[in-house]
Amino acid sequence: METTATAIKIEKIKTSKISQVDFDNLAFGSVFTDHMLVCDYKNGAWQTPEIMPYQAISLEPSAKIFHYGQSIFEGMKAYKDDHGDAFLFRPSDNHRRLNISANRMCIPEIPKAYFMDGLKELINLDKDWIPQKDGSSLYIRPFIFASGKGFHASPADEYKFLICLAPSGAYFSGKVKVLIEETYSRSANGGVGFAKTGGNYAGQFFPTQLAVKEGYNQVIWTDDNTHENIEEAGAMNIFIRINDTLITAPTSDRILDGITRKSILEIAQAEGIRTEVRKITVPEVVEAAKNGSLKEMFGAGTAAVVSPIAAFGYRGTDYDLPELTDSYASRFKKIITDIQYNRSEDPFGWRQKV
């Protein structure tokens, strides 16, 4: 057992399983590296983090995660450049957002040193797992859940913080067709829509599967009250381009403050692209589609970075979007991924070497 300068205990795996992995055919988030980080919260404090071989964990049936859903997570990636150096993208923003989610779900905040130092130590240990194929990366999943026991409906007294790593290929491929949702809601005012908590995503699965049965890939979420304001696309923030103006909904307690979303808005400002952060209604988008001023719609998030939308459905009618040779979506994706893979300068200071 080793200990780092920040008191992280390290137990290395005896035999790596990396030779069993086909790095040319990686599904997203289904293959896991040799090690994981685990840190327990008990007796009112976070204990010493440990890096250990990736393995199953044991929980009692009375663990509160199973009963009251206290769980939060983040999504991040590590990238490797042509020289074999590893990089993270805006990791401090992920730590900050994890603790925002923690506060909303009544989970103790994780100290930044535990998060950042533990993450970097883990990535350095499993650095060989970072794929170098274009579009591939090492997906990083930090998460916290209630491990304390009891059936009483109250916050747990013990928690587990883990970081697991998964070498992954591209998240989406092909054209995405979405359905504007008018019956189900992803979140509501005063709720937990802004937090990355498991229940937000579990609640999306059923309406999404209904849309899939109708021939769509995903749903566009609208507000819970009128179902007229466009808010998110699946598990991603959404951008809509009308003529040359890029529009996205403002963040709120219903909408996740996406890191890719923030990056796109900063890039657009630097590139001189007009942006509007405001409510955008379904009738406005439908009318733009009809009169030809709707140029693009795309989702933005860590997993896919940018996911162009080829068509959307609304009340029995499908609307195709034009195929552009120089789209904002492709432009933003190239700028962001060039920064992530260390293929270009980083004027924003987002890239962080591991």
pLDDT in tens, the chain (354 residues): 555 557 899 999 999 999 999 999 998 899 999 999 999 999 999 999 999 999 999 999 999 999 999 999 999 999 999 999 999 999 999 999 999 999 999 999 999 999 999 999 999 999 999 998 888 999 999 999 999 999 999 999 999 999 999 999 877 666 799 999 999 999 999 999 999 999 999 999 999 999 999 999 999 999 999 999 999 999 999 999 999 999 999 999 999 999 999 999 999 999 999 999 999 999 999 999 999 999 999 999 998 899 999 999 999 999 999 999 999 999 999 999 999 999 999 999 999 999
345-165-156 Cα angle (round to 5): 120
Residues 147 and 253 in one domain: no
pTM above 0.85, yes or no: yes
Do 205 and 326 have their domain in common?
A: yes
Q: Is residue 312 in a domain?
A: yes
Looking at residue 172, its pLDDT comes to: 65
Within this chain, do residues 139 and 205 fall inside the same structural domain, yes or no? Answer: no
Residue 120's domain is classified under what CATH number?
Answer: 3.30.470.10
- Is 262 within the bounds of a domain? yes
Report the amino acid identity of residue 339: I
Measured distance CA(202)–CA(205) in Å, rounded? 6
Residue with tokens 């009483």: 152
In a domain, 352, yes or no: no
Distance CA 217, CA 219 (A): 7
CB 134 within 8 A of CB 98: no
**189 lies in the same domain as 150:** no
Provide the domain limits for residue 181: 176-340
> Looking at the domain assignment, is residue 353 inside a domain?
no
Question: Which of 146, 168, 190 is the C-terminal boundary of a domain?
Answer: 168
- Is 351 part of a structural domain of the chain? no
Does one domain contain both 228 and 160? no
Phi-psi region of 243 (alpha: psi -120 to 50; beta: other; left: phi over 0): left
pLDDT at 171 (0 to 100): 75
State how many domains the chain has: 2
- Dihedral of alpha carbons 226, 229, 231, 233, sign: positive
Residues 309 and 326 in one domain: yes
What separation, in Å, do the N-terminal and C-terminal C-alpha atoms of the chain show?
Answer: 22
- Count of positions (residues) in the chain: 354
Shared-domain flag, residues 47 and 83: yes
* CA dihedral for 25, 30, 33, 34, sign (positive or negative): negative
Q: Last residue of a domain, which of 168, 187, 203? A: 168
Q: What are the structure tokens assigned to 32, written together? A: 């896991």
CATH of the domain at 306: 3.20.10.10
| 348 falls within a domain | no
**Helix ranges, the chain (H):** 65-68, 91-104, 112-125, 198-213, 259-271, 282-291, 328-340
Q: Do 162 and 214 sit in the same domain of this protein?
A: no
HSE of 166, CA atoms in CB hemisphere, 13 A? 18
Task: Check whether residue 198 and residue 63 sit in a common domain.
Answer: no
**In the 8-state DSSP scheme, what is residue 57?**
-
